[in-house]
């Protein structure tokens, strides 16, 4: 009897001892694999290790996360889900509905995420009231980048309305400069489109059209005007824009071949990598019109077995939203912290502008999710809209046909 | 080998023949040379780009010779490029690909040889139907099998493992390896098998001592095909691997395909060439045996 | 006992492969068929919901484009790669000097993954960066080669790069075939004074029927599964003008989380394959045997 009790105690000691030895563990599936992005994730891994965790890296790049999502489905179906996955937007809720996400509310509540995150961003991280994901950063999508020298030489100010933009472009075109550097890939067409919709229709219209998918709004005259503006923009790109990578378009602005580019703030990384200075060599401004379109990267935790893995999820969630990581990561990535209480002393002027606008629009209700970057809609609907936008931009389709196709495609996508 | 010139009917003007032959040879080489250029063009772009500095790529023309040759990109691609938080280049992933490709090629080639041998020489009722079913199987789009296969691998306990990947590659390579061997063995006269049977040789013996020795050229074709397919596969590699078992194509993709990072084209191109070196090697080496095997064994037809 | 073993050994040898194919090819096709009648989104679900996915598919203009492209691309790709492969093999078979080097040059594209080769092609075909720019630089100011950025012609650039990648392998298959033709017959024909082109068209090429089968299967398989090629070269663009069924299906299944829709497109794809390949297989196998 004594003997068995002893055995039981020592067995228990062995188990707990092992658990303490193993510590938090995480296999992290993400698609940040290159240069600055990878270094930013490495910061997280170091912090994770410093807190006793073991990080197993599972990087899968490509197609804005498409390849990673393919791998994720296979992993989930084979009963071998990764511990944490880079997921964003409504995809988080979609995975939650499949019943495979873990609840990280206890971390979120202890850390007081509700107090430090803007409400609209916090909503993306919640599934039916519980916290199921942790935000990393806020990319602003509706940026317009310009070559400072060209603008000065042609006496052009950064445009604040689309009419001003068009006037400036006409002037540039007359001077033999490509007004708009653009890469003809579907997602880039969509990026420009949503900036145009926001600028022409305003935040409320954007919400109704591209978030709520209201059929009447989709076929409205304002939407036609947005497609008209897309057709006008088509006239401002050079003839070789098809299939061009976004960074080559950025290079055109840098080298003075083109004046403007409409792209998210990751474009800043290209300028900085080439040794250009914001405000001096290149200019950043929000695209004409009110509002702020965000693209928030986040990590979701998957349901896994084992205490060490669960401990890993909690630790990871805590670190991801922690102020230290939010600062370092976003300095590397060109975005701004999702937390509003992180000091921005080390950030550049574009990031300051972004943070200011985020706070202002958060209060004014014009802080909106980017449809082009998978924040506003589920994949099927977003994809259906992009099909129409890119088909319109790359053909001579009329705006009236485009809005009709748009509402058909959306209706057909459910 | 057939020589076009040999078959020209004897003509009465010897000088005419000489000039005609020369012109014919010249246009032959011109034709072959032009196509060599077509095939080499992308490689030229890749090699020159990999030897440039990023600064030169950003400012200069994309298809031009490098002003200054640097091997920096090659070193980075092999051992320094980031494929995630690890910045060790392609090096660590090479071994995984070899572990997948070598057994995958060996097993599927062996099975293909046996299947082809049965279908071509030991026909039974329904063997042609089986062959057709296997052939049609070549056409199933791999995107379709991903999800159910993931489930099956999970059930088998092979999820995320090298063995799982080998298994998948063998299954979906079978159609082709069987096709190649069957079409090769079908040209070997059935009398050979009949004669061997009369001499008392059995199924295994005939395969081992008659068919296998004749098979070098088709083994080379099959190995080239399978090795290329498996080595270059990305879809299965990315879906059925986990941290630690990812093949080199996944690493290459991670280097090349960043959505929002700065693109280092020189490293991308160097990495692509490095990742392709084993297949290139197989092509160069196997190409030699291809010919040797063909000139040695002349029992076909 | 040993006799029994001897007669059944061939079947036993074939059995494992046969079972594997039935399970992992036809079983999975059945699974796909089932899923195509459901409303599966992110992950497969199994409650049947009728033919709604097929209705959606046929209502989609993008799918129409993808199917049209498959026929244009598939036909051109197979025909051109086959002809070019045969032609190169015949020419290479003329006791050419440094044949080994040339053969390797023709063959190597197959060794490269399209993930990056696509970028090289993209640069070459881009009017502003590549060929057009180069030829204009030589003084031919009016030279135009803008297929890549022209929605009506972009699909032909996919053919161009596809042929580049695969014709070498077809060439190798034909070369092996040419070298296994009985030389005695050819010599006899030459002695009889039969012109060369007749020797090829009447004796050599017909004797290579099984090689044509292999080449056709290899090429058709590549055409239908062309995925990396399109993604790397055009990304389906301009617009979605170079979309193929394989890229459509992938986009639906994995970028858009619409697995039911992807399954229905896969079923249509396989029906097309069935309609083309089965008659061909039937005639080939029929002609050769039985």
| C43 contacts A380? CB cut-off 8 A | no
Residue C47, domain member (yes or no): no
Task: Compute the nearest-CA separation of A13 from chain B (Å).
Answer: 31
If one compares B287 and C83, the residue with the highest pLDDT of the two is C83
Residue B16, domain member (yes or no): yes
Q: What is the pLDDT averaged over residues A349-362? A: 92
Q: Are strands A178-181 and A258-262 parallel, antiparallel or unpaired?
A: parallel
Could you tell me the CATH number of the domain that includes residue C75?
1.10.3720.10
- Domain enclosing residue B208, as ranges: 91-296
**Mean pLDDT lowest for which of A295-309, B179-193, C47-61, C225-239?**
C225-239
**Mean pLDDT lowest for which of A360-364, B151-155, C134-138?**
C134-138
| A78 contacts B238? CB cut-off 8 A | no
For residue range A164-218, list pLDDT tens digits in order.
999 999 999 999 999 999 988 888 999 999 999 999 999 999 999 999 999 999 9
A252 and A188 share a domain?
yes
Task: Compute the nearest-CA separation of C116 from chain B (Å).
Answer: 6
Please report how many Cα atoms fall inside a 13 Å half-sphere around the Cα of residue A355, on the Cβ side. Answer: 23
DSSP class of residue B9 equals: P
Q: What is the pLDDT averaged over residues A113-132? A: 92
Residues 240-259 of C with CB under 8 A from B: 246, 249-250, 253-254, 259
In whole angstroms, what is the distance from residue B8 CA to residue B2 CA? 12
Q: Which residues of C touch A385 (CB under 8 A)?
A: none
The residues that bridge with A146 in the sheet, in sequence order, are A260, A283
A53 and A189 share a domain?
no
Buried-exposed string A55-75: b where 16+ CB fall within 10 A, e elsewhere = bbbbbbbbbbbbbbbbbbbbb
Residue B60, domain member (yes or no): no
Asked if B150 has any chain A CB less than 8 Å from its own CB, the reply is yes
Residue C16, domain member (yes or no): no
CA C137, C142, C148, C150 torsion-angle sign: positive
Domain final residue, candidates A351, A368, A386? A351
- Domain enclosing residue A378, as ranges: 140-294+353-411
B155 and B265 share a domain?
yes
* Number of domains composing chain A: 2
pLDDT at C81 over 50: yes
Residue A144, domain member (yes or no): yes
pLDDT at residue number A320: 93
Asked if C59 has any chain A CB less than 8 Å from its own CB, the reply is yes
Closest CB to C238: pick one of A97, A242, A413: A242
On average, the pLDDT of chain C sits at 86
**Mean pLDDT lowest for which of B83-87, B105-109, C191-195, C284-288?**
C284-288
In whole angstroms, what is the distance from residue B255 CA to residue B273 CA? 13
For residue range C221-262, list pLDDT tens digits in order.
888 878 878 887 887 778 888 999 989 988 888 888 889 999
In SS3 terms, chain A reads as CHHHHHHHHHHHHHHHHHHHHHCCEEEEEECCCCHHHHHHHHHHHHHHHHCCCEEEEEECCCHHHHHHHHHHHHHHHCCCCCCEEEECCHHHHHHHHCCCECCCHHHHHHHCHHHHCCHHHHHHCEECCEECEEECEEEECCEEEEEHHHHHHCCCCCCCCHHHHHHHHHHHHHCCCEEEECCECHHHHHHHHHHHHHHHHHHHHHHHHHHCCCHHHHCCHHHHHHHHHHHHHHCCCCCCCECCCHHHHHHHHHCCCEEEEECCCCHHHHHHHCCCCECCCEEEEECCCCCEEEECCEEEEECCCCHHHHHHHHHHHHHHHCHHHHHHHHHHHCCEECCCCCCCCCCCHHHHHHHHHHHHHHHHCCEEECCCCCCCCCHHHHHHHHHHHHHHHCCCCCHHHHHHHHHHHHHCCC
pLDDT at residue number C70: 92
In whole angstroms, what is the distance from residue B172 CA to residue B236 CA? 11
Q: Which residues of B touch C282 (CB under 8 A)?
A: 132
Contact in structure between A286 and A197 (CB atoms under 8 Å): no
Residue C188, domain member (yes or no): yes
B109 and B255 share a domain?
yes
pTM for the full model?
0.85
pLDDT at residue number A2: 43
Angle at B169 between CA C243 and CA C80, to 5 degrees: 45
Closest CB to C104: pick one of B183, B218, B287: B287
| A82 contacts B242? CB cut-off 8 A | yes
| A393 contacts C237? CB cut-off 8 A | no
Residue C27, domain member (yes or no): no
pLDDT at A3 over 50: no
pLDDT at A368 over 90: yes
Asked if B63 has any chain A CB less than 8 Å from its own CB, the reply is no
Nearest to C105 by CA among C159, C163, C164, C162: C164
Residue located via tokens 């992933």: B93
If one compares C80 and A334, the residue with the highest pLDDT of the two is C80
A241 and A131 share a domain?
no
pLDDT at residue number B143: 83
The structure tokens listed for B159 are 């999820």
pLDDT at residue number B291: 56
Closest CB to A184: pick one of C60, C231, C238: C238
**Mean pLDDT lowest for which of A30-44, A207-221, B103-117, C48-62?**
A30-44
Tell me the C-alpha to C-alpha distance, in Å, between residue A123 and each of A89, A129, A407: 10, 9, 27
Q: Which residues of A touch C258 (CB under 8 A)?
A: 379-380, 413
Residue C282, domain member (yes or no): yes
| B32 contacts C92? CB cut-off 8 A | yes
Contact in structure between A333 and A268 (CB atoms under 8 Å): no
CA B189, B193, B195, B196 torsion-angle sign: positive
B141 and B33 share a domain?
no
Helix (H) or strand (E) holding B106: helix B91-121
| Binding-site residues on chain A for chain C (CB distance < 8 A) | 63, 66, 69-70, 73, 76-77, 91, 94-95, 97-98, 184-186, 238-244, 378-380, 382-383, 387, 390-391, 393-395, 405, 408-409, 412-413
The structure tokens listed for B164 are 């799982």
B254 and B148 share a domain?
yes
Residue A14, domain member (yes or no): no
- The one-digit pLDDT tens for each residue of chain B (301 residues) are 444 444 444 444 556 667 888 888 888 999 999 999 989 988 988 898 899 888 787 666 666 788 888 888 899 888 887 777 777 888 889 999 999 999 999 999 999 999 999 998 888 888 888 998 988 888 888 888 888 999 899 999 998 899 999 999 999 999 989 988 988 888 788 888 889 989 888 888 999 988 998 888 888 888 888 998 899 998 899 889 988 899 998 888 888 776 556 678 888 889 989 998 998 888 888 776 665 555 443 334 3
Residue located via tokens 């244009």: C72
| B143 contacts C266? CB cut-off 8 A | yes
pLDDT at residue number C2: 67
B4 and B99 share a domain?
no
Task: Compute the nearest-CA separation of B40 from chain A (Å).
Answer: 23
A310 and A287 share a domain?
no
Task: Compute the nearest-CA separation of C221 from chain A (Å).
Answer: 22
Q: Which residues of C touch A379 (CB under 8 A)?
A: 255-258
Nearest to A84 by CA among A49, A64, A55: A55
Asked if B157 has any chain A CB less than 8 Å from its own CB, the reply is no
Angle at B99 between CA B162 and CA A26, to 5 degrees: 45
Residue located via tokens 């630790």: A315
Nearest to A271 by CA among A252, A250, A248: A250
Size of interface B-C (CB pairs under 8 A): 281
Residue C1, domain member (yes or no): no
Nearest to C182 by CA among C197, C202, C203: C203
| A94 contacts C41? CB cut-off 8 A | yes
Q: Which residues of B touch A35 (CB under 8 A)?
A: 82, 258, 261-262, 264
| C241 contacts A394? CB cut-off 8 A | yes
Chains that touch A (3 or more CB pairs under 8 A): B, C
B152 and B275 share a domain?
yes
A313 and A400 share a domain?
no
In whole angstroms, what is the distance from residue B236 CA to residue B215 CA? 30
pLDDT at residue number A34: 66
Residue A3, domain member (yes or no): no
For residue range A314-324, list pLDDT tens digits in order.
999 999 999 98
Closest CB to C100: pick one of B63, B225, B287: B287
B95 and B28 share a domain?
no
Q: Which residues of B touch C195 (CB under 8 A)?
A: 7, 9
| A95 contacts C61? CB cut-off 8 A | no
B17 and B99 share a domain?
no
pLDDT at residue number A1: 40
Q: What is the pLDDT averaged over residues A143-162? A: 94
Which of A25, A48, A77, A141 should we substitute to test contact with B (largest number of B Cβ atoms within 10 Å)? Answer: A77
In whole angstroms, what is the distance from residue B193 CA to residue B123 CA? 12
Q: What is the ipTM of this complex?
A: 0.83
Could you tell me the CATH number of the domain that includes residue A29?
3.40.190.10
Task: Compute the nearest-CA separation of B141 from chain A (Å).
Answer: 15
Residue located via tokens 């990031």: A351
Could you tell me the CATH number of the domain that includes residue B254?
1.10.3720.10
| C235 contacts A379? CB cut-off 8 A | no
A366 and A218 share a domain?
yes
For residue range C147-168, list pLDDT tens digits in order.
888 888 889 999 999 999 999 8
Task: Compute the nearest-CA separation of B179 from chain C (Å).
Answer: 7
Tell me the C-alpha to C-alpha distance, in Å, between residue B180 and each of A404, B122, B218, C163: 52, 16, 7, 21
Q: Which residues of A touch C136 (CB under 8 A)?
A: none
A221 and A172 share a domain?
yes
Closest CB to A379: pick one of C129, C239, C256: C256
Residue B235, domain member (yes or no): yes
* Number of domains composing chain C: 1
B32 and B152 share a domain?
no
**Mean pLDDT lowest for which of A33-37, A234-238, A255-259, B31-35?**
A33-37
Task: Compute the nearest-CA separation of B66 from chain A (Å).
Answer: 19
Q: Which residues of B touch C24 (CB under 8 A)?
A: 145, 149, 152, 171-172
CA-nearest residue of chain C to B271?
C116
Closest CB to B238: pick one of A60, A77, A245: A60
CA-nearest residue of chain C to B62?
C129
pLDDT at residue number B127: 86
Asked if C237 has any chain A CB less than 8 Å from its own CB, the reply is yes
A309 and A234 share a domain?
no
Residue located via tokens 């693109």: B263
pLDDT at residue number A14: 42
Nearest to C162 by CA among C92, C53, C84: C84
Q: Which residues of B touch C18 (CB under 8 A)?
A: 130, 133-134
Sheet with A137-140: strands ordered across: A336-337, A137-140, A292-295, A367-369
Residue B45, domain member (yes or no): no
- Domain enclosing residue C185, as ranges: 53-288
Q: Which residues of B touch C123 (CB under 8 A)?
A: 45, 62-63
Closest CB to C251: pick one of A91, A383, A412: A383
Contact in structure between A376 and A357 (CB atoms under 8 Å): no
B127 and B19 share a domain?
no
A127 and A46 share a domain?
yes
Q: Which residues of C touch A412 (CB under 8 A)?
A: 56, 59-60
| C204 contacts B130? CB cut-off 8 A | no
In whole angstroms, what is the distance from residue B178 CA to residue C79 CA? 24
| B28 contacts C94? CB cut-off 8 A | yes
Q: Which residues of C touch A371 (CB under 8 A)?
A: none
């Amino acid at each position: 009897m004594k003997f068995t009790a002893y055995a039981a105690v020592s067995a228990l000691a062995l188990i707990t001892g092992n658990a303490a030895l193993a510590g938090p563990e995480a296999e992290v599936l993400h698609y940040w694999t290159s240069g600055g992005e990878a270094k930013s994730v490495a910061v997280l891994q170091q912090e994770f290790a410093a807190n006793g965790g073991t990080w197993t890296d599972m990087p899968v790049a490509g197609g804005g996360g498409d390849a990673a999502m393919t791998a994720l489905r296979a992993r989930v179906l084979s009963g071998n889900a990764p511990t944490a996955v880079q997921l964003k937007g409504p995809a988080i809720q979609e995975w939650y509905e499949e019943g495979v996400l873990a609840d990280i509310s206890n971390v979120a509540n202890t850390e007081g995420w509700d107090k430090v995150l803007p409400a609209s961003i916090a909503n993306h991280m919640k599934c039916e009231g519980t916290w199921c994901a942790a935000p990393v950063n806020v990319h602003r999508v509706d940026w317009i980048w310009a070559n400072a020298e060209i603008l000065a030489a042609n006496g052009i100010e950064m445009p604040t309305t689309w009419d001003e933009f068009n006037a400036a472009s006409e002037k540039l075109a007359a001077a033999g400069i490509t007004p708009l550097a653009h890469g003809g890939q579907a997602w880039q067409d969509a990026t420009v489109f949503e900036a145009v919709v926001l600028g022409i229709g305003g935040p409320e219209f954007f919400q109704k059209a591209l978030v709520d998918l209201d059929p009447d709004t989709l076929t409205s005259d304002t939407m036609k005007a947005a497609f008209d503006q897309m057709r006008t923009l088509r006239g401002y790109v050079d003839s070789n824009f098809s299939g061009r990578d976004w960074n080559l378009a950025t290079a055109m602005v840098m080298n003075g071949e083109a004046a403007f580019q409409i792209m998210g703030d990751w474009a800043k990384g290209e300028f900085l990598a080439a040794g250009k200075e914001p405000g001096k060599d290149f200019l950043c401004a929000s695209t004409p019109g009110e509002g702020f379109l965000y693209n928030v990267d986040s990590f979701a935790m998957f349901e896994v077995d084992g205490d060490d893995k669960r401990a890993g999820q909690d630790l990871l969630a805590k670190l991801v939203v922690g102020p230290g990581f939010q600062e370092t990561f976003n300095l590397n990535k060109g975005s701004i912290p999702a937390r509003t209480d992180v000091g921005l002393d080390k950030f550049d002027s574009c990031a300051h502008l972004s943070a200011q606008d985020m706070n202002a629009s958060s209060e004014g209700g014009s802080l909106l999710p980017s449809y082009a970057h998978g924040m506003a809609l589920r994949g099927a609907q977003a994809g259906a809209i992009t099909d129409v936008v890119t088909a319109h931009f790359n053909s001579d389709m009329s705006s009236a046909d485009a809005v009709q196709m748009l509402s058909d495609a959306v209706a057909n996508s459910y | 080998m057939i020589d076009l010139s040999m078959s020209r009917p004897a003509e009465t003007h010897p000088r005419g023949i000489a000039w005609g032959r020369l012109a014919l040879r010249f246009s032959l080489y011109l034709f072959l040379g032009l196509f060599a250029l077509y095939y080499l063009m992308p490689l030229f772009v890749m090699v020159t780009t990999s030897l440039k500095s990023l600064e030169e790529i950003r400012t200069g023309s994309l298809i031009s010779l490098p002003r200054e040759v640097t091997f920096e990109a090659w070193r980075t691609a092999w051992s320094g490029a980031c494929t995630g938080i690890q910045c060790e280049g392609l090096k660590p992933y090479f071994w995984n690909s070899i572990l997948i490709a070598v057994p995958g090629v060996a097993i599927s080639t062996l099975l293909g040889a046996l299947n082809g041998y049965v279908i071509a020489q030991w026909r039974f009722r329904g063997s042609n139907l089986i062959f057709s079913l296997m052939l049609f199987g070549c056409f199933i789009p791999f995107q379709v099998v991903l999800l159910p296969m993931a489930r099956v691998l999970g059930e088998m306990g092979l999820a995320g493992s090298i063995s799982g990947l080998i298994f998948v590659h063998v299954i979906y390579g079978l159609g082709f390896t069987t096709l190649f061997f069957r079409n090769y063995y079908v040209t070997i006269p059935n009398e050979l098998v009949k004669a061997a049977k009369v001499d008392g040789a059995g199924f295994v013996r005939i395969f081992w001592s008659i068919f296998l020795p004749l098979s070098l050229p088709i083994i080379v074709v099959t190995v080239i095909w399978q090795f290329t397919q498996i080595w270059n596969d990305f879809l299965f590699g990315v879906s059925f691997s986990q941290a630690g078992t990812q093949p080199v194509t996944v690493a290459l993709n991670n280097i090349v395909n960043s959505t929002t990072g700065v693109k280092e084209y020189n490293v991308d191109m160097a990495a692509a060439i490095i990742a392709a070196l084993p297949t290139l090697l197989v092509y160069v080496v196997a190409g030699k045996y291809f010919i040797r095997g063909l000139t040695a064994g002349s029992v076909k037809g | 006992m040993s006799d029994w073993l001897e007669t059944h050994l061939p079947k036993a040898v074939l059995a494992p492969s046969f079972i594997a194919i039935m399970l992992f090819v036809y079983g999975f096709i059945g699974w796909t068929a089932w899923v195509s009648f459901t409303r599966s989104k992110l992950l497969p679900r199994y409650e049947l919901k009728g033919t709604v996915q097929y209705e959606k598919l046929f209502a989609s203009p993008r799918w129409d484009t993808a199917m049209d492209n498959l026929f244009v691309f598939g036909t051109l790709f197979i025909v051109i790669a086959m002809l070019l492969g045969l032609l190169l093999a015949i020419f290479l078979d003329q006791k050419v000097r440094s044949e080994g080097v040339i053969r390797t040059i023709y063959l190597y594209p197959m060794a490269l993954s399209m993930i990056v080769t696509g970028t090289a092609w993209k640069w070459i075909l881009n009017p502003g960066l590549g060929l057009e720019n180069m030829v204009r630089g030589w003084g031919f100011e009016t030279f135009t080669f803008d297929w890549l950025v022209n929605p009506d012609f972009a699909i032909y650039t996919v053919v161009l790069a596809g042929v580049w990648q695969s014709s070498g392998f077809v060439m190798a298959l034909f070369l092996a075939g040419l070298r296994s033709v009985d030389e005695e017959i050819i010599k006899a024909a030459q002695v009889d004074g039969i012109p060369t082109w007749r020797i090829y068209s009447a004796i050599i090429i017909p004797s290579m029927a099984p090689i044509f089968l292999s080449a056709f299967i290899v090429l058709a398989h590549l055409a239908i599964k062309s995925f990396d090629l399109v993604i790397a070269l055009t990304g389906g663009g301009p617009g979605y003008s170079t979309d193929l069924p394989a890229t459509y299906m992938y986009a639906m299944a994995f970028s858009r989380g619409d697995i039911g829709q992807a399954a229905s497109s896969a079923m249509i794809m396989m029906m097309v394959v069935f309609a083309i390949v089965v008659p061909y297989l039937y005639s080939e196998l029929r002609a050769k045997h039985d």
